Amino acid sequence: MASGGPGDGPLGLGRGILLAYTLRRLLQAIPVILLVTLIVFLLNAAIPGDPGRIRLGQRADPAAVEAYNEARGYNDPIPVQYFNYLWRLFTQFDLGESDVKAGKSVNEILEESFFVTLRLALLSIIVALIVGIGAGILSAVKSRTAVDYISMLIAIIGFSMPVFWLGILMIIYVAPVLGLPRTGFDDTNTYTMLRSLAMPASALGLLSSATIARLSRSAMLDVMTQDYIRTARSKGLAESVVVLKHAMRNAAIPIVTVVGNSFGYLLVGAVLTETVFALPGLGREVVEAIKQRDRELITGGILLMSFVFIGVNLLVDLSYAVFDPRIRDDRS
């Protein structure tokens, strides 16, 4: 009798379905990425000003300016520039050289700034998860009590408060009390890095936690009324097991969605926070590039932000199949 291979059976079938689901989502992301590159490139090409003049100065020799533009391909037709850019991007991941920061590649500049933003976003989402999910679960378990009302009131205030305003308040009142740096970034070692990011990560995380708390409460309240929760309680399971093991898992999909979107926003939308706390992050770098009309850096920065956001949303989409296997069979 022939024996089944390692991929046979329900487990192997489940893995195959999950792989097919993943490949389908990856293929769906490709046209989105191409459309983003086209839009960003066309908008950047419409920026007024001569790149050669920006790099060499207004008093530069016209021949030198023309030679610079010719060497960088700025004199080519827009379609040719776009396809050359795509070729460099997808074959070498080469984002070009900055028009303003002489001798520095866009890859190098964005790598330095992105890892500052990445560390800020990771610390912020940790704060948001601890505060937001904790407050949401507590409000759901203590529904229609003072704990619930106070938690949601604080969440509404946090949801409505601009991040730059909270940042300024923390710089003035919180930093001196805790002895933390008010602004700047020091990555000499892990300790100094964490101290530098404590204030901005707390500001971003607390505001993001407001949205997570409200959605967590709503999802948990919906799940807590289901029959299987009553069955689990009737079996004598501890309330903590009922809430964390049974209710939380089934409420995970909407929570994962908002957490993923929040993390994507923290990675690409922390411009105000980076400006208030003087952090050399990705958002601040792109804003400075726009001020200086650094075309290559603008294009590279916005594309990186777009790719990161698309990637985060793709991971969130794929995580649905982990929490709810029924989604793997989605044909949409």
Q: Closest by alpha carbon to 328, among 258, 319, 316? A: 319
At residue 12, the pLDDT reads 53
Instruction: Identify whether the C-beta of residue 279 lies closer than 8 Å to the C-beta of residue 89.
Output: no
Model confidence over 173-198: pLDDT tens digits? Answer: 999 999 999 888 988 899 999 999 99
**Measured distance CA(78)–CA(38) in Å, rounded:** 11
- pLDDT of amino acid 319: 75
Least confident of 21-25, 277-281, 303-307: 21-25
Tell me what pLDDT residue 198 has. 93
Q: Which residue has the higher pLDDT, 267 or 298?
A: 298
pLDDT at 51: 78
What's the pLDDT band for 245 if we cut at 50, 70, 90? confident
Q: Which residues contact 22 (CB under 8 A, 6 or more apart)?
A: 318, 321
C-alpha torsion 65→71→72→78, nearest 10: 100
**pLDDT tier for residue 6 given thresholds of 50, 70 and 90:** very low
- Cα gap 112→261, rounded to integer Å: 24
The predicted model scores a pTM of: 0.79
pLDDT at 18: 67
* Residue spans of beta strands (DSSP E) within the chain: none
3-state secondary structure of 94: coil
- Residue 152 · residue 214 · CB < 8 Å: yes
For the chain, give the mean pLDDT: 82
b/e burial code for range 222-231 (CB count within 10 A of at least 16 → b): ebbeeeebee
**pLDDT for the residue numbered 45:** 79
CA distance 176 to 216: 33
Structural contact between residues 69 and 75, judged by C-beta atoms closer than 8 angstroms? yes
Give the residue among 307, 275, 274, 290 at the shortest CA–CA distance from 116. Answer: 274
**Highest mean pLDDT: which of 136-140, 235-239, 289-293?**
136-140
Q: Cα–Cα distance between 89 and 304 in angstroms, integer?
A: 11
pLDDT at 265: 80
What is the pLDDT at residue 9?
Answer: 45
